[in-house]
Amino acid sequence: MAGLLKQALQRIQAEVDSGFDALLPVPSDARARLTEAMRYAVIGGGKRIRPLLLTATAELHGVDREMAVRTSLALEAIHVYSLIHDDLPCMDDDDLRHGKPTVHKVFDDATAVLAGDALHAFAFEILGDPALTGDPFTRAELTLCLATASGLQGMAGGQMMDIVAETTAFDLPTVTKLQQLKTGALLGAAVEMGAILGRLPPEGRTHLRAYARDIGLAFQIADDLLDHEGDEAAAGKALRKDAAAGKQTFLSLLGPDRARSQARMLVDQAIAHLGQYGAEADLLRELARFIVERDR
Amino acid sequence: MAGLLKQALQRIQAEVDSGFDALLPVPSDARARLTEAMRYAVIGGGKRIRPLLLTATAELHGVDREMAVRTSLALEAIHVYSLIHDDLPCMDDDDLRHGKPTVHKVFDDATAVLAGDALHAFAFEILGDPALTGDPFTRAELTLCLATASGLQGMAGGQMMDIVAETTAFDLPTVTKLQQLKTGALLGAAVEMGAILGRLPPEGRTHLRAYARDIGLAFQIADDLLDHEGDEAAAGKALRKDAAAGKQTFLSLLGPDRARSQARMLVDQAIAHLGQYGAEADLLRELARFIVERDR
């Protein structure tokens, strides 16, 4: 991993952990268990790719670091709530996440459902709060962006398609749409929210959106390859479940060689979309390369 | 039920149903199943007490009806998502809600989790959207209000306490806090959101907040009494589960006579908080009385 990226990842990981730690104190009543489950899920795990994308995009446009990090906590809270619900026995039934037992294993299913729900609300508490920014227009725009990316038109819609994929043989365009919703929407929101903080008008976000779309697909193809070839210990979660379930993926539809070259092509294309930026966008470029080169 | 209230309930029920119908068209892809589950849950069920509270408060302050109804869809979406998750086998495991089979019975557990999550996001899509109001300050304030009322400091926190109540004998102050969070927070948000739409400054909301707090507790005591004495067919859901689980409630702690007189006292008190309003607040007064007199 390139030095710039490595440093940036370490920095955002520390900032996200301490941000959640500060915003989620454990109350001294029966809600303690819920807060502990939320803290267990959000602190000390995950690569924090979405917060990095958001803060790197914000930095391109001179946004105050503290505001960008706080906004990225809302985004990461949505990502983590979706993982908690996704890991439930009635969903993917996973016991391991980021190398730790999943929330419902450590606590119980009911607490896991509630911890996900409470993190979901927590995200919008952050975005609605004047403590984030005194500009209500930015808060409202961030709210709409994140809610759209995580709901029926985004992540939750993609997860529904993913469930249907277990019993229906999807073709390549349908798998692409599924992945654009399931993973792409939230990665796109990371870049979009950074641009919103930077007060970039919608028409000025075209290149950034194209960058996000390309790395979103590349990310998923890389995930499919890692799922196929990776090591469970390094991944910190169960692998090869899609193939076992007979689910169509980029890998099953394209084969490993075409999948790999497609991912590389998407990364080159993503980097080309950053052409208008100079060295200040190097972090976004390194991140794009990392997405297909990572080992977990 | 008084005529004014009966009319108002019928009106808001029709408006909420047609509002959800318009905002949740069924897409022609694999997300259709998710949308159908969301529509099954939000259309054609429930008393719509929260939307009525919100719109009645908004009307007191001359708010445009369409804007108030649309805002109440966000609030009701949060209420309904919490019912879907609450009914899951790993939570309360209920088969019946509003006289219909619950979402996870008609669809499946995974779809029920996702339908709840998608409705949760949908609520904030409504509030973040400029289509609601051109005033971003109002959108951001509504977002913060609803997110706080539904998260750890509100509904989700109360539900966690409710789970703990199954294994811990709570005293009256703790049951009161539990209920203020679990049910009271969202009823309070209904009134608060109506006041926000009416651009009432926070210091002008004191009486309305006191009204909401009192009817919130009265509502829960009435619920306990209905749970104890009511008819399952009229209620449209399973009853007497709290007693079976050995959970402390207002009823178990106060006994039926004191519980009943406490509820009536709270309603009188709630109505007294509306003293500054004339006949224009009669709907809120009738609603307060209805809350302890209803049969479901």
Segment B104-129 mean pLDDT = 97
- Encode pLDDT of A105-117 as tens digits: 999 999 999 999 9
Higher per-residue confidence, B69 vs A1: B69
Using the predicted structure, report yes or no on whether residue A86 has a pLDDT greater than 90: yes
Q: How many residues does chain A have?
A: 296
Place of tokens 């500060």: A22
How many domains does one find in chain B?
Answer: 1
Looking at beta carbons, which residues of chain B come within 8 Å of A145?
Answer: 128
Write down the number of H helices and E strands in chain A: 15, 2
For residue A169, the chain B residue with the least C-alpha distance is B30
pLDDT score, position A84: 97
B71, B193 contact by CB (below 8 A): yes
CA-nearest of B278, B272, B152, B279 to B218 is B272
Please name the member of A34, A140, A147 whose beta carbon is closest to the beta carbon of B140. Answer: A140
Segment B221-247 mean pLDDT = 81
CA-nearest of A177, A108, A163, A144 to B115 is A163
Distance of CA B66 to the CA centre of its chain: 20
Domain around A76: 3-293
A47, A287 contact by CB (below 8 A): no
Using the predicted structure, report yes or no on whether residue B118 has a pLDDT greater than 90: yes
Using the predicted structure, report yes or no on whether residue B36 has a pLDDT greater than 90: yes
Beta-carbon contacts of B237 under 8 Å, excluding residues fewer than 6 positions away, are B94, B96, B97, B98, B99
For every residue of B9-38, DSSP letters joined together read HHHHHHHHHHHHHHH-PPPSSTTHHHHHHH
DSSP SS3 for A97:
strand
Interface size between A and B, measured as CB pairs under 8 A: 204
Place of tokens 């006292």: B265
- Encode pLDDT of B142-176 as tens digits: 999 999 999 999 999 999 999 999 899 999 999 99
CA-nearest of B57, B77, B74 to B199 is B57
Is B85 in contact with A174 (Cβ distance < 8 A)?
no
Using the predicted structure, report yes or no on whether residue A75 has a pLDDT greater than 90: yes
Segment A80-101 mean pLDDT = 93
Q: How far apart are CA A183 and CA A53, in angstroms?
A: 14
- Encode pLDDT of B2-11 as tens digits: 789 999 999 9
Segment B218-223 mean pLDDT = 92
Segment A215-226 mean pLDDT = 92
pLDDT score, position A248: 87
B65, A182 contact by CB (below 8 A): no
B83, B63 contact by CB (below 8 A): no
Is B177 in contact with A128 (Cβ distance < 8 A)?
no
Higher per-residue confidence, B296 vs A142: A142
pLDDT band with cut points at 50, 70 and 90 for residue A245: confident
Neighbours of A131 (CB within 10 A): 12
| Radius of gyration over every alpha carbon of chain B, rounded to an integer in angstroms | 18
Higher per-residue confidence, A50 vs B99: A50
Higher per-residue confidence, B104 vs A2: B104
Distance from CA of A222 to the nearest CA of B (A): 24
Q: How far apart are CA B178 and CA B150, in angstroms?
A: 13
Backbone angles phi, psi at B30, to 5 degrees: -70, -5
Q: How far apart are CA A67 and CA A142, in angstroms?
A: 12
* Chain mean pLDDT for chain B: 94
Beta-carbon contacts of B80 under 8 Å, excluding residues fewer than 6 positions away, are B41, B42, B46, B119
- Encode pLDDT of A254-275 as tens digits: 999 999 999 999 999 999 999 9
Neighbours of B149 (CB within 10 A): 25
- Cα(first)–Cα(last) distance of chain B, in Å? 13
Q: How far apart are CA B55 and CA B195, in angstroms?
A: 10
Backbone angles phi, psi at B278, to 5 degrees: -90, -145
Check residue A183 and report its DSSP letter.
Answer: I
Supply the CATH number for residue B9's domain. Answer: 1.10.600.10
Q: How far apart are CA B26 and CA A162, in angstroms?
A: 17
pLDDT score, position B45: 85
Distance from CA of B157 to the nearest CA of A (A): 6
Structure token pair of residue B81: 């998502």
Neighbours of B156 (CB within 10 A): 29
A194, A54 contact by CB (below 8 A): yes
pLDDT score, position B177: 95
Distance from CA of A80 to the nearest CA of B (A): 13
ipTM of the complex: 0.95
Q: Which amino acid is at B11?
A: R
Distance from CA of B264 to the nearest CA of A (A): 29
Segment A22-33 mean pLDDT = 94
The answer for B 158-197 residues in CB contact with A (under 8 A) is 159-161, 163-165, 168, 170, 174, 177-178, 181
pLDDT band with cut points at 50, 70 and 90 for residue A1: confident
Please name the member of B114, B148, B150 whose beta carbon is closest to the beta carbon of A160. Answer: B114
Q: How far apart are CA A238 and CA A240, in angstroms?
A: 7
For residue B178, the chain A residue with the least C-alpha distance is A30
Is A113 in contact with B90 (Cβ distance < 8 A)?
yes
- Encode pLDDT of B13-25 as tens digits: 999 999 999 999 9
Segment A77-101 mean pLDDT = 94
Using the predicted structure, report yes or no on whether residue A243 has a pLDDT greater than 80: no
- Encode pLDDT of B278-287 as tens digits: 999 999 999 9
Beta-carbon contacts of A283 under 8 Å, excluding residues fewer than 6 positions away, are A4, A5, A8, A52, A56, A59
Q: How many residues does chain B have?
A: 296
Using CA atoms in the order A246, A251, A254, A259, what is the torsion angle rounded to 10 degrees? 180
Distance from CA of A100 to the nearest CA of B (A): 22
Segment B180-202 mean pLDDT = 96
Using the predicted structure, report yes or no on whether residue B85 has a pLDDT greater than 80: yes
A250, A228 contact by CB (below 8 A): no
